Amino acid sequence: MKKRIGLLTSGGDCPGLNATIRGVAKAVYERIGADNVEMIGIEDGYHGLIFGEYHVMKPSDFSGILTMGGTILGTSRQPYSKMQVIEEDNINKVSNMKKYYKEMKLDCLLTLGGNGTHKTANLLAEQGLNIIGLPKTIDNDIYGTDVTFGFHTAVGTATDVIDKIHTTASSHRRVMLIEVMGNKAGWLTLYSGLAGGADIILIPEVPYRFEAVMEAIDRRARNGRAFSIIVVAEGAMDADEANMKKKERAGHREQAGYKTATQRIADQIEAGSGYQTRVVISGHIVRGGSPTAYDRVLATQFGVYAATLIERDIYGVTVAMKNNVVTHNPLAEIAGITKLVPIDHQMVDVARNMGICMGD
């Protein structure tokens, strides 16, 4: 009897998803045999598993996708907080997922995604399904792994944005603020800010003081630097907001007319000084494009390791990279935990020792 393996990609897309799908499939075909395996593609993430939208894939489906961004399976966001809530459509999502898992006659399901995806993967594992997670996110915030696929490509893309802003900032002698994705964790902002030569880096883990930001800009001006580059994580917050709960902070910003701190900081700078400011939101650009060579290799490593887990019937785990060795963690131990940037992290120290203002 053929081993039937389900694949789904969930949450925000990122470079490396297709490379990982390819790595899994090619390694499974090689290790178990193409005649002994059926790969089942589940469409649009957990949505496809909830509503039974899937198709049997052929070996040819996995050719030519190594360099492709996005995901050939499609993706969607299905909030974990609602997975066990029966809404107006009267659908029991967990029951449906178990039902279609059995209907597909799956021996296991591979879920490629970030923190929310892993929480739902753990929920399904607790329900008795054979689950293997694969850590995908540009935010690099999955606990238990040193790196996630998609992160290095996103760093490169965000750095390219910062590089291009440098020339216009210097030409017009402006303070340029570049907003980078990262609502809870500042890894992407920190690394791209360092790589792009930012003067000020603001991340969620280090609440900023506007006075410190302004002093850094003034100091550059006194030293003959007529422009400044500020890289801001979308989740950056000031010291007052850091003491607020999430809903309170959102209400505070809505009342002030800002969704993120970036535009507020820009307006504060212009109001309190003679500096011209401009805001650039890199947004979903950092999710797109072809994965870098590093991410292609990492995705392939992760995919091959997942194939090994399938061959050994090891489930209820997620693949990880620790100290340059690919391994796995129990889903129950990592699901729901966000890997934040420690305030004493080596890369934070590197930034400070380069004279970069972290806002505190």
Total residue length of the chain: 360
Whole-number pLDDT of residue 341:
98
Cα–Cα distance measured from residue 228 to residue 278, given in angstroms and rounded to the nearest whole number: 11
Q: Which CATH architecture has domain 3-150+291-334?
A: 3-Layer(aba) Sandwich (3.40)
Whole-number pLDDT of residue 287:
95
Nearest to 240 by CA among 271, 216, 264, 218: 264
Cα–Cα distance measured from residue 161 to residue 290, given in angstroms and rounded to the nearest whole number: 16
Whole-number pLDDT of residue 263:
94
Q: Which two tokens stand for residue 137?
A: 């996110």
| β pairing state of 200-202 and 175-180 | unpaired
CB within 8 Å of 323: residues ≥ 6 apart: 146
Integer CA distances (angstroms), 23 to 293, 304, 325, in order = 14, 6, 17
Same fold yes or no, 3-150+291-334 and 154-287: yes
Residue type, 276: Q
Q: Which two tokens stand for residue 174?
A: 């402006």
Collect the ranges in the chain with pLDDT lower than 70: none
Q: Which two tokens stand for residue 101?
A: 């898992």
CATH for 154-287 is: 3.40.50.460
The DSSP call for residue 184 is S
- In sequence order, the β-bridge partners of residue 56 are 40
**Phi, psi of 281, deg, nearest 5:** -105, 110
Cα–Cα distance measured from residue 307 to residue 293, given in angstroms and rounded to the nearest whole number: 21
Domain ranges of the chain: 3-150+291-334, 154-287
Whole-number pLDDT of residue 254:
85
Cα–Cα distance measured from residue 265 to residue 333, given in angstroms and rounded to the nearest whole number: 38
Q: What angle do CA 316, 322, 324 make, to 5 degrees?
A: 130
Cα–Cα distance measured from residue 32 to residue 105, given in angstroms and rounded to the nearest whole number: 18
Whole-number pLDDT of residue 347:
97
Whole-number pLDDT of residue 182:
94
- In sequence order, the β-bridge partners of residue 201 are 231
Residues labelled catalytic:
139
Q: What angle do CA 137, 138, 141 make, to 5 degrees?
A: 65
Whole-number pLDDT of residue 298:
98
Whole-number pLDDT of residue 330:
98
CB 83 within 8 A of CB 93: yes
- In sequence order, the β-bridge partners of residue 132 are 110, 317
Whole-number pLDDT of residue 247:
87
User: What is the C-alpha end-to-end distance of the chain, expressed in Å?
Assistant: 61
CB within 8 Å of 102: residues ≥ 6 apart: none
What is this structure's pTM? 0.95
Whole-number pLDDT of residue 253:
87
Integer CA distances (angstroms), 40 to 19, 25, 58, 180, 346, in order = 17, 10, 9, 35, 42
Whole-number pLDDT of residue 145:
98
Whole-number pLDDT of residue 272:
79
